[in-house]
């Protein structure tokens, strides 16, 4: 489903995300600003579920989700709705408090990361049995998910992340990369993923600093660097 990384800097952070999907699935609506529960939010929206995989709000709090292993059983809610449920939080502490009241059994396994300036990321791992809150979520980098050989994909992407980590440009090169994988399955397991029926279908880059919130979004694979659009959101006073 996705590969996610982030990097903290004084007064803010960078959050990058490759979204992997079946090519037959309808394209997502690009990010747009909307008001939810009185809070301004920027997020792309999946037309099938009405949910999202990544969002940032006027407080500079971002939420991003990657699927867990396996397909959701029939009747479960879309995991993308979790992102919007947490998207209006005023801080990661507020998001974690809200997450503690979510009925997680209504969703298939997933991992949710929540970021704000000046604090390590919070990560919630929902394995289908018990949600776990990790208050030092930076140790989870990179977040990955793959419907094809998930363990090998995670190993390949983690190895490539360690090789390329270092500054925002290094993270971007990681998201563009076709890491060499064992067994020659290079493009199927890499951060920028390509298979016959699935691929990286969009690239998102959120940058939050002391004054500004910017959300760059490009459809298509990260390696192609398709023309994209940057959305700006004024920080709440």
Convert the pLDDT of each residue in 9-60 to its tens digit: 999 999 999 999 999 999 999 999 999 999 999 999 999 889 999 999 999 9
Nearest by Cα to 4 from 157, 149, 126: 157
Distances (CA, A) of 138 to 7, 110, 199: 9, 17, 26
- SS in 3 state form for 49-99? CCCCCEEEECCCCEEEEEECCCCCCCCCECCHHHHHHHCCCCCHHHHHHHH
Q: Which of 4-13, 19-28, 219-228 has the lowest mean pLDDT?
A: 219-228
136-158: string of b/e by CB count within 10 Å (b at 16+)? Answer: ebbeebbbbbbbeebebbbebbe
Residue 1 has pLDDT above 90, yes or no: no
Q: Is the pTM of this model over 0.75?
A: yes
Rounded to an integer, what distance in angstroms lies between the CA atom of residue 5 and that of residue 158? 11
**157 with 140: CB under 8 angstroms?**
no
């Amino acid at each position: 489903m996705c590969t996610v990384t982030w990097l903290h800097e004084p007064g803010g952070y960078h959050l990058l995300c490759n979204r992997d999907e079946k090519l037959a699935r309808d394209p997502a609506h690009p990010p747009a600003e909307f008001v939810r529960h009185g809070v301004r939010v920027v997020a792309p929206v999946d037309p099938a579920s009405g949910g999202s995989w990544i969002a940032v709000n006027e407080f500079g709090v971002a939420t991003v989700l990657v699927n867990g292993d396996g397909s959701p059983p029939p009747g479960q809610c879309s995991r993308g709705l979790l992102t919007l449920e947490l998207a209006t939080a005023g801080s990661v502490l507020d998001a974690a408090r809200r997450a503690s009241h979510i009925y997680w059994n209504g969703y298939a396994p997933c991992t949710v990361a929540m970021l704000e300036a000046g604090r390590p990321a919070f990560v919630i791992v929902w394995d289908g049995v018990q949600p776990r809150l990790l208050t030092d979520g930076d140790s989870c980098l990179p977040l990955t998910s793959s419907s094809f050989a998930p363990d090998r994909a995670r190993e390949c992407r983690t190895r490539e992340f360690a090789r390329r980590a270092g500054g925002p440009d290094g993270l971007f090169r990681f998201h563009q990369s076709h890491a060499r994988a064992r067994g020659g399955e290079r493009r199927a397991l890499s951060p920028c993923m390509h298979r016959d029926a699935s691929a990286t279908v969009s690239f998102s880059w959120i940058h939050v600093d002391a004054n500004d919130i910017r959300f760059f979004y490009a459809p298509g694979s990260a390696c192609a660097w398709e023309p994209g659009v940057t959305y700006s959101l004024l920080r709440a006073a």
